[in-house]
Amino acid sequence: MQALFKISYGLYVLTARTNKFNGCIINTLSQVQSAPTRVSITVNKDNYTTKMIEETGVFNVSIINEKADFSLFERFGFSSGKTTQKFTGFTAFKMSKNGLPYITENTNAFISCKVVSKTELDTHICFIAEITEEQVLNDINSLTYDEYFKSVKPKPESKGKWTCKICNYTYDGEVLPEDYICPICKHGKEFFIKK
Ligand X SMILES: Cc1cc2nc3c(=O)[nH]c(=O)nc-3n(C[C@H](O)[C@H](O)[C@H](O)COP(=O)(O)O)c2cc1C
Task: Report the interface residues with ligand X, using CB under 6 A.
Answer: 11, 22, 24-28, 43-44, 47-49, 73, 77-82, 148
C-alpha–C-alpha distance, residues 157 and 97, integer Å: 44
Q: Report the distance separating Cα 48 and Cα 29, nearest Å.
A: 18
Cα within 13 Å of Cα(138), Cβ side: 13
Residue 25 or 109: the one with the smaller Cβ distance to ligand X is: 25
d(CA 62, CA 68): 12
State how far the Cα of 110 lies from the Cα of 183, in Å rounded to an integer.
54
What's the min distance (Å) between Cβ of 146 and ligand X? 11
CB nearer to ligand X: give 30 or 33: 30
Q: How far is the CB of 78 from ligand X (least distance, A)?
A: 6
Between 54 and 169, whose beta carbon lies closer to ligand X? 54
Min CB(131)–ligand X separation in Å: 19
- Could you tell me the smallest distance in angstroms from the CB atom of residue 77 to ligand X? 3
Q: What are the start-end ranges of the H helices in the chain?
A: 48-56, 70-77, 145-147
CB of 127 to ligand X, least distance (A): 11
- Residue 52 vs 109, nearer CB to ligand X: 52
Q: Give the C-alpha separation, 167 to 163, whole Å.
A: 8
CA–CA gap between residue 122 and residue 102 (Å, rounded)? 29
State which amino acid sits at residue 91.
Answer: T
Residue number with CB closer to ligand X (86 or 164):
86
